[in-house]
Structure 1
Amino acid sequence: MPPADLSPTMRDYLAEVYRLTERGQTPGGYIGTSALADLLDVSPPAVNRMITKLKDAGLLEHEPYQGIRLTETGRREALKELRRHRIAEAFLVNVMGFKWHEVHAEAEQLSRGMNETLTERMATMAGHPAVCPHGEPIPTPEGEITPMDDGLLSDAPHDTEMEITRVLTREPDRLEYLAALGLTPGTRLRVLHAAPFHGPLQLKVGREYRIIGHNLAELIRAQVV
């Protein structure tokens, strides 16, 4: 199937498969279909129907008992869609003044009407950002993406200076809460204590102290400074 014939929904699926693959759901680049259904908030039968379409189009491989993974063609199309979406988010924040918790759904709609010319013009107006407002890397126009050497904040070593690189949620309430705590990409902090059995983490952010739950810390990625 030529790229121009891909529907917006098909492009969305490819981008979500890439996101899950990047997070290492299973060995060998495979991800489970249930994980994809959860991320997209759609029923497993609907996911299976779309997987069949994408497989028939040569964009996905499906291996029984292992899951699905992108073909090389599928990966290229996924990165194109990610570039459109993340440029749209950066444009909404950098140019139009949206807050980072407001842009995911808006960018989802906006990116569906973006061709290559419009995408590159918006990238220029947004200042050619390397990452989206949530810290995720933006693929280049050539389809290259810089891997990030970071890890979960929940696994961070204690009393070591860290810098938040990205936040892995699109839920507006969580993003707004994290912003209120000052826990956004670029923020430096230290993990002072983590309670056992997935208990809360105590953080020092500048001169302030913060406490966040383990499940929230798992949505934050950071690297040692």
Structure 2
Amino acid sequence: MAKATTNKPISKTSAVVQDFLSETYLEASESGRVSLRALAARLGVTPPAVSRMAQRLVRQGLVRREGACGLVLSEAGERIALRAIRKRRIFEVFLVQKLGYTWDEVYPVAASASNYLDDELVERMNAQLDRPARCPHGDPIPTRDGRIQPITDARLSELADGAQGVVSRVSSHDGDLLRYLSSLNIKPGMPIRLVSRAPFSGPLRVRVANGNFHDEHVIGSELASKVWVEVEH
């Protein structure tokens, strides 16, 4: 394994590198592998630009290329990635709880600003927020020492008919999508039940708690794949 050639503090790592490493970590967590094309789509840049950055970070010992897995973070690279993810998610919670943002508004603000925040400032925010475990979208916030809560939930689109549980997270930062889910009361913490689904990847009928009542909605399978549920057993 390549060793990092720098002892630069994580807080001094450039925002571009923090973004690259954090998105590499998230893509690996969601897809199991990290291709240059997928990473380019996440970062909003071209595959050649990702390739050049990857070569640079390989030389620095922060990533390596590993066959079918594509790009893999080194221990040093993962440490920087988790720190960047922690800062971003704490800042998202701060924007919602202290500044009145909604969950569909926070990601672009946090993504553009959180890498520039001083580490100590973020820790003071975290203390003021009473150390939240998850961001507004339901994603777990890594601890200060780089540990992250194991994920045991499942995609709504993959549940069996009749399965029920609580919405744990939504794996999208698309504002229109999040606003639509809000209008259906499908958001982290809400009870949900998969009533039935149409065959051949057709739409799903779900029942969602709404006060003392339950509403039924029909949603597409692609949208349902963005909704994760902690299933009752």
Please report the TM-score for the alignment, with normalisation by the length of structure 2: 0.91
SS in 1 for 2:54: helix
Which of 162, 176, 180 is 1:173 aligned to? 176
Instruction: Please tell me whether residue 2 in structure 1 is matched to residue 29 in structure 2.
Output: no
The Cα of 1:188 is off from its aligned counterpart by: 0.7
Is the 1:95–1:125 Cα contact (8 Å) retained in structure 2? no
Q: CA deviation at 1:130?
A: 0.2
- The answer as to 2:221 corresponding to 1:218 is no
Q: Distance in 1 between matches of 2:65 and 2:144?
A: 28
Q: How does 1:37-52 map to 2 (within 5 A)?
A: 37-52=40-55
- Structure 2 gaps, min length 5: 1-5
**Residue 65 of structure 1: CA displacement?**
5.1
Amino acid at match of 1:191: L
Match of 1:182 among 172, 181, 185: 185
Q: What is the rounded CA distance, in whole Å, between the counterparts of 2:165 and 2:127 in structure 1?
A: 31
Query: Taking structure 1 as reference, are residues 3 and 215 closer, same or farther at Cα in structure 2, changes over 3 Å only?
Result: farther
Structure 1 ranges of 4+ moved more than 2 A: 1-6, 63-66
Q: Is the 8 A contact 1:3 1:77 kept in 2?
A: no
Question: Separation in 2 of the partners of 1:210 and 1:180?
Answer: 11
Structure-2 residue corresponding to 1:58: 61
Q: Secondary structure at the match of 2:96?
A: helix
Question: Which among 93, 102, 114 is matched to residue 111 of structure 1?
Answer: 114
Distance in 2, matches of 1:98 and 1:201, equals 30
CA distance in 1, matches of 2:133, 2:97: 13
Deviations 1:121-159 (A, max 9, x none): 111222211000000000011111111101111001211
> Residue 132 of structure 1 aligns to a residue in which SS?
coil
Over residues 161-219 of structure 1, what are the superposed CA-to-partner deviations in whole Å (9 max), with x where a residue is unaligned?
Answer: 22111000011111111111101011111101111121111001121011111110011
Find the counterpart in structure 1 of residue 26 from structure 2: 19
The more displaced of 117-126 and 130-139 is 117-126
Look up the equivalent residue of 2:54 and give its one-letter code: I
RMSD value, Cα: 1.3
Q: Do residues 127 (structure 1) and 130 (structure 2) align?
A: yes
1:22-54 deviations in whole A, cap 9, x for unaligned? 11x24xxx4211111122221100110111111
